[in-house]
Amino acid sequence: MTDILVEGGRILLGDEFADAALRIAGRDIHAVGADHGHSAVTIDARGLLVLPGIVDLHGDAFERQMMPRPGVDFPIDVALVDSDRQAIANGITTVFHAATWSWEPGLRSGDNARRLLEAIEGLRPQLAADTRFHLRHETYNLDAEAEIGEWLSEGRIDLFAFNDHMDATVGDLAKPQKRNRMVERTGLSGAAFDDLVQRIVARAHDVPASIERLATAARAAGVKMLSHDDDSPQMRKAFRVQGVAIAEFPVNEATAREAADGGDFIVFGAPNVVRGGSHTGWTRASDMIAKGLCSILASDYYYPAQLLAAFRLAVDGILPLAQAWQLISAAPAQAAGLADRGKLAAGHRADIILVDDKVPLRPRIVAVIAAGRLVHLTEAGRLMQTAPTSRRAVAAA
């Protein structure tokens, strides 16, 4: 059993930092507070912050490992292992891979969604991060409804999102650069893609009933639901009635305010904070956070962004670091129904990261512990073996 003592660091306990030691036994945090004696392995955290592992509700950066260039595919298992390394190195100890199942062939096809789900299920025991499946369902993809319903009832989906990018797709047909990117992603000819879009748009009248049936199935399965890119308070209200309690990337302040007033979780992209605004020109996440209209930051398309965003918010004076960290740890854990993580407390899962914050906007991760295992370490000199069984403990880690 893992036996690790983290001592000398400043530990985030609730809403404040404290000088304390932290003991890990097995997968969980055994105790937080004073030094609790010797351990098989001790980590010297002097000069470092000790923080809860990051929980990422929506990350699709793994797609770049699957298809690093348009039309260039790599095996999904290779892509997932590489993505796992990236997530862990950036402090993400719980990752929901946001896989889009669209009406398109290619990267976001049903075949790819199936292969990805099967690969996650098969590789999960050997991945360092707790890796989960977030299905992003394009609501016009009516042919997928029956199979998705089966996945929900079988407990294979961990988060379920309703996406509707049809208006944007139709609008982008008139923009050569965006149109070419969509066509390349599908592997179709331009004419075949245009024909497919026309056929899908013609089924719009069947979409609302499909959404209602799938929301009913998700509620019955106890799966948390998100709605993506809500563009009006009315849209948010309609999804809330269906039990969809997470508003993901609302496109304007009025919609975000409706979500907040309704007690919904509100997700924005951490890259938006790091870059100082949305790459689409929509809502500025930092402004929403300052107004209390954002409760969660997700990596979206860039794994380093959550860590960087929390420190950016602190440096910019928008939130103290302790509160900013809740946006990427405790709040997403709560939204996903994961009561065993997101904060450092006895009995919680030992997902812990050690961060050097000497350069305020460039925090550096020194060590990551996931489910009690030391899975990432950049400074070996901080590792001290203090018991005869230490070699076996390090090997087990």
- pLDDT of 385: 64
Q: Which residue range(s) make up the domain with 258?
A: 55-164+205-335
Contact 192, 185 (CB under 8 A): no
- Nearest Cα to 127, choosing from 83, 159, 89, 168? 83
- pLDDT of 100: 92
290 & 347 share domain: no
Cβ partners under 8 Å of residue 312, min gap 6: 273, 274, 361
247 & 134 share domain: yes
44 & 63 share domain: no
209 & 265 share domain: yes
**Domain end (from 335, 363, 388):** 335
pLDDT tens for 40-83 read 899 999 999 999 999 999 998 888 888 888 778 899 999 999 99
Residue 108 lies in a domain: yes
386 & 270 share domain: no
Residue 193 lies in a domain: no
CA angle 239, 243, 249 (to 5 degrees): 50
143 & 255 share domain: yes
134 & 157 share domain: yes
pTM: 0.91
Q: Report the alpha-carbon distance of residue 319 to residue 328 in Å, rounded.
A: 13
Residue 175 lies in a domain: no
Residue-by-residue DSSP string for 333-363: HHHTT-TT-SS--TTSB--EEEEE-SSTTS-
Helix or strand run (H / E) with residue 218: helix 207-221
The torsion angle over the Cα atoms of residues 10, 11, 13 and 16, rounded to 10 degrees, is 30
30 & 69 share domain: no
281 & 375 share domain: no
126 & 142 share domain: yes
Greater confidence (12 vs 106) lies with 12
Residue-by-residue DSSP string for 266-307: EEEEHHHHHHTS-TTS---HHHHHHTT---EEE-BT-TTHHH
- pLDDT of 99: 92
Q: Report the alpha-carbon distance of residue 150 to residue 239 in Å, rounded.
A: 21
Has residue 94 got a pLDDT over 90?
Answer: yes
pLDDT tens for 149-188 read 999 999 999 999 999 988 887 877 788 888 888 888 788 8
Has residue 355 got a pLDDT over 70?
Answer: yes
Average pLDDT, the chain: 92
225 & 134 share domain: yes
Residue 351 lies in a domain: yes
**Domain end (from 335, 358, 385):** 335
Antiparallel, parallel or unpaired: β 383-385 and 246-248: unpaired
pLDDT tens for 213-242 read 999 999 999 999 999 999 999 999 999 999
Has residue 134 got a pLDDT over 70?
Answer: yes
CATH number at residue 314: 3.20.20.140
Q: Give me 92's structure tokens.
A: 């993400």
Of the ranges 181-185, 291-295, 323-327, 375-379, which one carries the lowest mean pLDDT score? Answer: 181-185
- Nearest Cα to 329, choosing from 75, 116, 37, 49? 49
- pLDDT of 178: 85
pLDDT tens for 318-346 read 999 999 999 999 999 999 999 999 999 99
- State the burial class of residue 231 (Cβ atoms within 10 Å of its Cβ: 0-12, 13-18, 19+): middle
**Tokens 């420190």 belong to residue:** 311
Each residue of 356-378: b (16+ CB within 10 Å) or e?
A: ebeeeeebebbbbbbbbbbbbbe
CA angle 307, 326, 306 (to 5 degrees): 20
Q: Give the total number of structural domains in the chain.
A: 2
